[in-house]
Structure 1
Amino acid sequence: MTRRPNSIIGVSVFIACAMLAIAGWVLTQMRHDALRRSQEAAVNVSLLVERDISRNLEIYDLSLQAVADGLRRPGVAELPPDIRQMVLFDGAAFAKDLGSLLVTDATGNVIIDSRYLTPRPVNVADRDYFQIHRDRPDAGLYVSHPFEPRLSDGGTTIALSRRLSRPDGSFAGVVVGTMRVNYFRRLFAGMNLGDNGSMALMLDDGTMLMRRPYDSKVIGRSLKGTANYMRFAQAPSGDFFGTAAIDGVERWYAFRHIAGFPLILDVALATHDIYEEWRWRAWIIGSLMVALDLLIVALAVLFAQQLKRRLAMESELRSLARTDGLTRLCNRRSFDDMAQAEWRREQRSDLPLSLLMIDVDHFKGFNDMYGHSAGDDALAAVAACISEAIRRPDDTAARYGGEEFTVLLPNTPLDGALRIAETIRAAVQALERHHVASVHHVVTVSVGVACTDAQRYATLRAFINAADAALYEAKGGGRNRVAGGPDTAAPDVPVAAAPKISA
């Protein structure tokens, strides 16, 4: 990986993505936990409110039943009013938010009033709590729709009523107790539902008795036909996400039918409130995670850039170590390594391997006459001619030492090597660089060629010596020529031991 900078960036991006994925999973779990905690709280609130309402209504109903039972006892109706009041009405009838307990006759006239010895003159025959018992003997306990009372100014009220029957079962009137809806309002106000939460109590038919947040216009409104009410009516209890028909706020609803009473209670938490704290934490965690990921990727990019620079410098240093600085060809050391490799390959494959030894003619005299700077230019020009003559990727040209060059030609027979050698010689001569000390009056080269296809050599050294011997043959033949072939001497001795011909 340390040799592949882009891999570092790729790994850092993978790590960053993995961290984001983990953070996303954690935040998702936190979101689920926030919903679960809110749901548990809402269910607990609904249970608490249900029990309070159920208990108080049950106590009030017991008071109604006690009045009905007392009136069925012989002689109770004929008792003096003050004694009758004590017999029929217990202390529950005077609790806070409870109105009067009334007894009516079959026509709806009030004949007994829990708050007055002499009943107030009022007829309730038009009230739903009277009509339901008149028309339905099996109605049992009835909870009325909200109404404004006639006997007091206690605000919107509901009534709980039971039927009174004669011994023959005919309708004798009702016993009814009133309850101010303010009781439910105070009860709801004590519950923590968040800024946008709601709580509602309604009749089975969808008539609203109380809602938080409170709005007097909502009391008595029917929700029958709305999507939420249809869900309330389908099961005795449950929960769901829905949008309120009253204010259009999306909430999570927990609802239940209050056992023994025709009432539905729902507690609803706004989704905005449920996830408000989670959103704040998610924003903090998400921002930190994104910043950390960006930092990781940025550091990886910087490290990769530095590593690229380092690798480039190392590559350049390796290139410099294997390249001649003047001619930009391979140096002697690099040539030795490649020659060894090509020689071993030739031994394995039995493919021809050719070698050119090239020497600039009369170079010492050129340097003495034109100077070392001109000599360097001449060597660079010769190197350019050599590079132009070899095109294949496996062909290698090197500066062998001083004014001497070498070319390694894998998989090249002798005739091909001779053609390349002649191309190089002709190209150098075509440069027409003046050289008055040369018999040709221009810079020229002599080339010696050796090829394993023309003659077998025992060792790489013998092969190189053969090319060097061919070079000396070209020099001895008048320079500016190519020499080489099966008849070229190839002594297995170091090149330095070969006879020296003056440059």
Structure 2
Amino acid sequence: MVMRHPNIVIAISIVLASAILAIAVWVLAQMHDDALRRAQDSVFNVSLLVERDVSRNLEIYDLSLRAVMEGLKQPGVQDLPPAMRQLLLFDGSAGAKDMGSIFVLDEAGDIKFDSQASPPRRINLADREYFKVQRDSPDVGLYVSRPFLPKIAGKEVSIALSRRISRPDGSFGGVVVGTMRLSYFRGLFADMNLGPGGSMALMLSDGTMLMRRPYDPKIIGRNLKGTANYSRFLLQPSGDFFGTAAIDGVERWYAFRHIDMYPLILDVALSTRDIYVEWRRRAWIIGSLIGALDVTIIALAILFSQQLRQRRAAEEELRVLARTDGLTGLNNRRIFEQDLDEEWGRAQRHAWPLSMLLIDVDSFKGFNDLYGHSAGDAALIEVARCITNNLRRPGDTAARYGGEEFAVLLPDTDEAGAMNLAEQIRAAIQEREVRHVASSHHVLTVSIGIACTSGQIFATARELINAADEALYEAKDAGRNRTVAYGTATQAPGGDTGVPGYLTPEFSPHIYR
């Protein structure tokens, strides 16, 4: 099959290369998914760690505020000496890292007690957001403010955590507030490995930015309300998605969560470029190797296919050489006898007539002696061409039977049709007017013997050949340049047989006309 159809080799190689490519694509797709899963696991771990740290510190800060409020309720606290009062009220805040000052503000916003100064600094904070919210809303609870710059010189940008002080009758009695430096969040974010394009942000629930990595002081306090990413943060308590940052336009994979009990949203994001940077490197290497392998497989298949074609062409040439006569291009005697056996069997099975012509060049030895073997070969080629030109049906075959003798096999042709074709061949050769001075006709001529199974009984194909040979000898004996059918009178040149209607019978659809 492969020898007969070399393109199958190329087709198989393409299928094989495609299969290898498909497997490589599948593997790369799995590696792509694995890279994303690893990044997601890393981000989830980082966000969980940051959330717990922020939540724990906010809880500590809140406990410090609550401790101050509880201390204020103790009888006689305000009458204590300043040093003891400071220790009682603000001792709980001593271990609070990155905590700024804790103030107790009266209902007018003046500092009543100060964790870092005794007597307290003379500052009014009634204009601060955290004071106004607590004053105007009795049920706020713990309030986390927007970033602000403290009124005390040299202090860092901070946020405030505040709680309302209510009198026994429920009226506003002041505020306990503690400031928290944003440097705490900046230091916490800096310790996390998020890659060159990663980001991390902590914002208030209203979209106000408290801290972001990479750090840019211009972004602190900026409100992201209305941006695509912020809108998605509000849809559920936690989640993840691919999105593009409104701040820097970088595409990232985001994991976000709302910090429990606090009005804060934390998001941790990895750049898609960073997520797949290692995958791209490996994909390039694997893709190059697979591409080279596929190209090599197909190239080798093409070369092998070309070799098969050349071999097939050589074998076909050998088959042709084995079938044909090297001089005339007609079938040789061995192939003719094979064809005769096949047609004989077919004629016997279907009761079809089978005719055979034996053609011999007249006085050919004298032609060779007179004109030379080269001219003799040219004459044989001319005779073969005349025979071939007069065979019109695909089933008719001609062969060089030996020396200057030719044979023609005519399946499904009766004697009259065979006689008609034989006379056409004889006349065509004579009309070539190949000069032959040693012949009585002065041109090259042939004699033809005809044998047909129609009207005759032949036991074997060999008997058919012998009958045609006998008719050929009769033509020779009758003067050459004649066609003679086995068992009939001798045919004179030009069709004058002396037998009325010999060349003009009523032919069947299968005979030559």
Task: Using structure 1 for the length normalisation, give the TM-score.
Answer: 0.95
How many equivalent pairs are there?
489
1:149-202 CA-to-partner distances (Å, cap 9, x unmatched) read 012422210001111111111111111110111110110011111111110000
Amino acid at match of 1:2: V
Does the 8 Å contact 1:93/1:114 carry over to 2?
no
- Counterpart amino acid of residue 420 in structure 2: R
Structure 1 residue 481 corresponds to structure 2 residue 482: yes
Structure 1 residue matching 2:447: 3-state secondary structure: strand
Alignment pair present for 1:88 and 2:99 = no
State the 1:413 CA deviation: 2.0
Give the letter aligned to residue 137 of structure 1: P
Written as runs of structure 1 = structure 2, the 5 A alignment for 1:423-442 is: 423-442=424-443
Structure 1 residue runs of 5 or longer lacking an equivalent are 490-503
Amino acid at match of 2:66: Q
What's the secondary structure of 2:77's corresponding residue?
A: coil
1:179 aligns with 2:185: no
What's the secondary structure of 1:69's corresponding residue? helix
TM-score, normalised by the number of residues in structure 2: 0.93
State the partner residue of 2:338: 337
**Counterpart of 2:369 in 1: which secondary structure?**
helix
Displacement of 1:485 in angstroms is: 4.8
SS at match of 1:338: helix
What is the SS of the residue equivalent to 1:89? helix
Segment of structure 1 superposing worse, 84-93 or 18-27 = 84-93
- What is the distance in 1 between the residues matched to 2:452 and 2:175? 131
Q: 1:136 to 1:91 in 2, by over 3 A?
A: closer
Name the residue aligned to 2:389. Answer: 388
Determine the structure 2 residue equivalent to 1:279.
280
Question: For 1:4-23, what aligned pairs fall within 5 Å after superposition?
Answer: 4-23=5-24
* Aligned alpha-carbon RMSD (Å): 1.3
Q: How far did residue 58 of structure 1 move? A: 0.6
Residue 410 of structure 1 and its aligned partner are, at CA, apart by: 1.4
Q: Hey, what does 1:159 align to over in structure 2?
A: 160
Other structure's SS at 2:377 match? helix
Match of residue 257 from structure 1: 258
In the other structure, the counterpart of 2:509 is none
Residue segments in structure 2 that go unaligned for 5+ positions in a row: 491-513
Which residue does the alignment assign to 2:38?
A: 37
Q: 345-354 or 59-68: which moved more?
A: 345-354
Residue deviations 1:1-36 (CA, integer Å, cap 9, x gap): 321111101111111111111111111111111111
Determine helix, strand or coil for the equivalent of 1:101. strand
Alignment of 1:114-125 (within 5 A): 114-125=115-126
Provide the rounded CA distance (Å) in 2 between the counterparts of 1:225 and 1:36: 30
1:423-480 residue CA offsets vs partner (Å, 9 max, x unmatched) = 1101111111111111101110011111222323211111111111111121121110
Q: 1:486: Cα distance to partner? A: 5.0
Task: Tell me: CA distance 1:488–1:195, structure 2 relative to 1, closer, same or farther (3 Å).
Answer: farther
Q: In the superposition, relative to structure 1, how do residues 92 and 414 fare at CA in structure 2: closer, same or farther (>3 Å)?
A: farther
Inter-partner Cα distance in structure 2 for 1:93 and 1:347: 123
1:2 aligns with 2:14: no
Q: Percent identity?
A: 66
1:75-105: CA deviations, max 9, x gaps? 1122111001111112534644220011000
What secondary structure does 2:393 align onto? coil
Counterpart of 1:26 in structure 2 is 27
**In structure 2, what is the Cα distance between the partners aligned to 1:167 and 1:432?**
145
Residues 77 and 445 of structure 1: CA distance in aligned 2, closer, same or farther (over 3 Å): same
Q: Distance in 1 between matches of 2:238 and 2:489?
A: 110
Amino acid at match of 1:155: E
The corresponding residue for 1:496 is none
**1:369-420 deviation per Cα after TM superposition (whole angstroms, max 9, x unaligned):** 1111111111111111111111222211100011100011112222221111
The corresponding residue for 1:234 is: 235
Aligned to 1:446: 447
Measure the CA separation in 1 of the matches of 2:399 and 2:199.
90
- Partner Cα separation in structure 1 for residue 358 and residue 489 of structure 2: 13
Instruction: Check the 8 A contact 2:203/2:209 in 1, yes or no.
Output: yes
Cα pair 2:67 2:92 within 8 Å, conserved: no
SS at match of 1:234: coil
What is the rounded CA distance, in whole Å, between the counterparts of 1:77 and 1:232 in structure 2?
46
Task: Find the aligned partners of 1:312 and 1:27 in 2 and give their Cα distance.
Answer: 44
Match of 2:358 in 1: 357
Q: Which secondary structure state, in structure 1, belongs to the residue aligned with residue 2 of structure 2?
A: coil
Counterparts of 2:435 and 2:152 in 1: how far apart (Å)? Answer: 136
- The separation in 2 between residues aligned to 1:201 and 1:248, in whole angstroms, is 18
